[in-house]
Amino acid sequence: MTDRKNCWSIKNRRIKNKKDRGKLVEGIFITMEGPDGSGKTTQIDLLKKYLESRGYDIVIAREPGGTVIGEAIRKIILNKEYQEMSHMTELLLYAAARAQLVNQVIRPALSEGKAVICDRFVESSAVYQGIGRGLGVETVYEVNNYALGDVSPKLTIFMDLDAKEGIKRKEHQAELDRMEMEDLSFHNRVVEGYRQLAQLWPERIFSIDATLPIEEIHSMIVQEVEKRFFDAQ
């Protein structure tokens, strides 16, 4: 599997607002990963409020999407009428949306010292297309090298939830998209793929039991963010 650790850094910069004038800070890039129904959106909202309390301007992004072009691609990828879409087409569409998001939103925000929280990123492609679709994790990272360039999260939070429980949580949803409609075996492969990545890169991927109470999960995330980004300040 391609090792991306060494290319994922954002240089320190000075911000000039009144509160932090002259203070050396760096942009924070955090991604939230996990199977459908794992509670990512709730934890992103809570993390946003916490980072705002630390004085950061926050940018929330989602995949696929987050830009006009990305949202148009999202409609194609998730359209349940496009059952004939090949797995490689799916992978390339995700990478195209990601490239636009990185260049239009994420990289500029980090260069300004902002905190970016992204709902899904390249690890989603690694597990959904690389493992779930069987294209191979290395293939996914090779394709996405072009999409990402030198941008990568310093922390990835993995909301670990069994696929069966995730599907159960989505039962009340009015309509499922093309990816959510996949069978249990596919979603099981996705979850196991996430767990494999978390074991491979424990220095970046922080796993949390998504069945824990919401506030307990948030507290664990805050502790991890404090340790990784603020303890040395």
Residue 81 pLDDT exceeds 70: yes
Q: Domain extents for the chain?
A: 18-230
β-partners of residue 116 are 29, 59
DSSP one-letter code for 62: E
Lowest mean pLDDT among 2-6, 41-45, 211-215: 2-6
User: What whole-number percentage of the chain has pLDDT above 70?
Assistant: 88
pLDDT for the residue 9 = 30
Residue 23 pLDDT exceeds 70: no
Edge-first strand order for the sheet with 28-33 is 58-62, 115-119, 28-33, 155-160, 205-209
Whether the CB-CB separation of 112 and 26 falls below 8 Å is answered with: no
Residue 98 pLDDT exceeds 90: yes
CA distance 118 to 110: 12
pLDDT for the residue 13 = 31
Length of the chain: 233
Assigned token pair, 223: 């502790």
pLDDT for the residue 233 = 57
Tokens 């760096």 found at: 26
The rounded mean pLDDT for the chain is 89
pLDDT in tens, 172-189: 776 889 999 999 999 999
pLDDT for the residue 18 = 31
Mean pLDDT of 81-90: 97
Tell me if residue 122 falls in helix, strand or coil.
helix
pTM, whole model, 2 decimals? 0.87
User: Quick one: how far is CA 75 from the chain centroid?
Assistant: 19
Lowest mean pLDDT among 10-19, 59-68, 118-127, 185-194: 10-19
What is 18-230's CATH topology?
Rossmann fold (3.40.50)
DSSP for 170-227?
Answer: TTT-S---TTTTS-HHHHHHHHHHHHHHHHH-TTTEEEEETTS-HHHHHHHHHHHHII
